[in-house]
Structure 1
Amino acid sequence: MKPILLQGHERSITQIKYNREGDLLFSVAKDTVTNVWYSVNGERLGTYNGHTGAVWCVDCDWDTKNVLTGSADNSCRLWDCETGKQLALLHTNSAVRTCGFDFSGNIIMFSTDKQMGYQCFLNFFDLRDPQQIEDNQPYLSVPCSDYKITSAVWGPLGEFVIAGHENGEINQFSAKLFDSASMDHIKSFKTERPVNSAAISPIMDHVVMGGGQEAMEVTTTSTRIGKFEARFFHAAYEEEFGRVKGHFGPINCVAFHPDGKSYSSGGEDGYTRIHYFDPQYFDFELEA
């Protein structure tokens, strides 16, 4: 499985995101740049320039019309996907950690960090109401007083948002699979190192996880000891069946292509890697 190596960032990758069709891959990093790539060959299609701080999150709407980004420069920005033009700028009191479009593409949500005396908020804007954007005033703002949100996704059909907080187990030593409607705990996938990101295959009963040693300790350890591999688990049996090496530091984010035939990973080393699965991967069956 030979990866396509995407070199378009000077600092650590913070998130990667496919569009619905899977032909485009968006990547953001701590270097203020948002890149968009052709996933089939790794060619960079363009950049979205405007942020002045680390970009923590990125999302694309259902029809690949608009792109949403959130940054440590205390802003959430809306872009025209095709032209790269900035369509809206929403100022916040602290860093924007997560963001996303709902199913319709009309509602956006983003969370702000608990810092500088401000508590964490989960904000909702309706893009069909220009006055909300002009006034920089969300129609709903939910305070999170205890622990800040580190990850958030929309539930089915945009009915609710699932948020992970900084004290959650998923950011520590295990990744857990939950039913998105009932929030019942279904499976656990144990590792001996911190898990930074996990993704579920759309066509196989597989989960891929990325993580590794803490960034501050990377320089003192080899890549082998640092546990920088992407690790594959069977979703039903909870057993690990494969690892993929390549990054020279912790893996910060992983994502499956919508067709399930490839996956991508972004690392602390500043690289994004697109991995197309070999034919043997689809014939593999884990012995019970």
Structure 2
Amino acid sequence: MRPILMKGHERPLTFLKYNREGDLLFSCAKDHNPTVWFADNGERLGTYKGHNGTVWCCDVSRDSTRLITGSADATVKLWNVKSDSALFTFKFDAPARSVDFSVGDKLAVITTDPFMELQSSIQVKRIARDSSEQTGESVLTIKGPEGRISRAVWGPLNKTIISAGEDAVIRIWDSETGKLLKESDKETGHQNPVTSLSKSADGSYFLTGSLDKSARLWDIRTLTLIKTYVTERPVNAGAISPLLDHVVIGGGQDALHVTMTGHRAGKFEAKFFHKILQEEIGGVKGHFGPINALAFNPDGRSFTSGGEDGYIRLHHFDSDYFNIKM
């Protein structure tokens, strides 16, 4: 597989997101400018200028007309995908870490980091169909978990919110009352901070990556641990194939230690595991630093990785990949 190298960011990548059809790819990085690309050939379509800090996360609406981005400048912006104009800016008292549209795009869940005296929070905002009617009020605010919440996503039918972060506990909240419904078990769960959380295509289970050098697959309703994938490095990102029984995991050691090791020793490759058998089936090398973001195209025929080196690598699978026998 010859990757397509996409160089549009000057700083490390933080997040990658495909739209529902899989023809557009949105990327976030520490250089303040979320970017949109053609997903088949890696051509850059444009950037969204307006943030003054690292952009940590983004999501795109089901009809690909709206983009939502969360940034360390303590704002979340709603954009018109086509015109790169900001439709609305939600202002917070702390950096915004994670954003996720609900099914139907009428709500968005946003998490903010602990900052000065403030605790981390999970907030739900109503997204108006007409941007002129948009307000900044929160429908629900959940305060609580210790440390940073690295990711929060909607559960089935928007009835729950799943969050995970620095305290290594995965939680399910009621999205109407904010009540805590379930917590992951300390014994079977992650032992170190959870860095990433991504749902399966059908939304029935999700994958978490952690600094404890493992990724875990969970049932989204019961929070039952289904599978565990063990690697020899901290996991920063993971994604579940919508087509085959595969998951891809990426990471590497902290940026602090990167300069001391060669790129071979640094283990900067995307590793593929068999989802059911939990066995490693292959790896894709290429990045010169830890992998911070991974995403599968919704058709399952290509995937992208974003690294600390500022590059996005777009890999179209060759036919051998679809015939891997276990």
What's the CA shift string for 1:81-135, capped at 9, x where partnerless? Answer: 111110010111111000011110111111000122111111111113879843x
Moved more, 141-150 or 23-32: 141-150
Equivalent residues in 2 for 1:134-149 (5 A)?
Answer: 134=135, 136-149=136-149
Asked if 2 retains the 8 angstrom alpha-carbon contact of 1:132 and 1:139, the reply is no
Structure 1 CA distance, aligned partners of 2:142 and 2:234?
29
- 8 A Cα contact 1:90 1:133, kept in partner: no
Q: For 1:280 and 1:207, how far apart are their aligned partners in 2? A: 17
**More deviation in 120-129 or 174-183?**
120-129
Counterpart-to-counterpart distance in 1, 2:78 and 2:258: 34
User: Hey, what does 2:63 align to over in structure 1?
Assistant: 63
Indicate whether 1:274 and 2:314 are aligned. yes
List 4+ stretches of structure 1 deviating above 4 A. 129-133
Alpha-carbon distance between aligned partners in 2 of 1:148 and 1:220, rounded to the nearest angstrom = 28
Deviation at 1:145, TM superposition (A): 3.9
Alignment of 1:108-257 (within 5 A): 108-128=108-128, 133-134=134-135, 136-168=136-168, 169=190, 170-172=209-211, 173-257=213-297
- Partner SS for 1:220: coil
Instruction: Quote the Cα distance in structure 1 between the aligned partners of 2:133 and 2:261.
Output: 49
**Mapped pair 1:43 → 2:43:** yes
Offset from partner CA, 1:30-54 (integer Å, 9 cap, x none): 0101100001110011111000001
Per the alignment, in what secondary structure is the counterpart of residue 139 of structure 1? Answer: strand
- Structure 1 residues 131, 43: closer, same or farther in 2, change over 3 A? closer
Unaligned runs of 5+ in 2: 169-189, 191-208
SS of equivalent residue, structure 2 residue 259:
helix
Secondary structure in 2 matching 1:20: coil
Question: Aligned partners of 1:67, 1:191: CA distance in 2, in Å?
Answer: 34
CA distance in 2 between partners of 1:139 and 1:247 (Å): 41
- Let me know the Cα RMSD of the aligned residues: 1.4
User: d(CA) in 2 for partners of 1:84 and 1:146?
Assistant: 36
Q: Give, in whole Å, the separation in 2 of the partners of 1:13 and 1:161.
A: 25
TM-score relative to the length of structure 2: 0.85
User: Structure 2: which amino acid aligns with 1:240?
Assistant: E
CA change 1:57–1:179 in 2 (3 A) is same
Q: How many residues align?
A: 285
Confirm or deny: 8 A CA contact 2:123 2:141 kept in the other structure.
yes
2:146·2:167 contact (CA, 8 Å) conserved in 1?
no
Cα distance between partner residues in 2 of 1:141 and 1:165:
17
How far apart, in 2, do the equivalents of 1:145 and 1:229 lie? 32
Residue 8 in 1 paired to residue 8 in 2? yes
Q: Which amino acid is 1:200 matched to?
A: I
| Counterpart-to-counterpart distance in 1, 2:63 and 2:218 | 27
TM-score when normalising by structure 1: 0.96
Provide the secondary structure at the position in 2 that maps to 1:217. helix
Q: Is the 8 A contact 1:125 1:133 kept in 2?
A: no
Structure 1: gaps (5+ residues): none
Which secondary structure does the structure 1 equivalent of 2:258 belong to? helix
Distance of 1:31 and 1:142 partners within structure 2: 30
Whichever residue aligns with residue 268 of structure 1, its letter is E
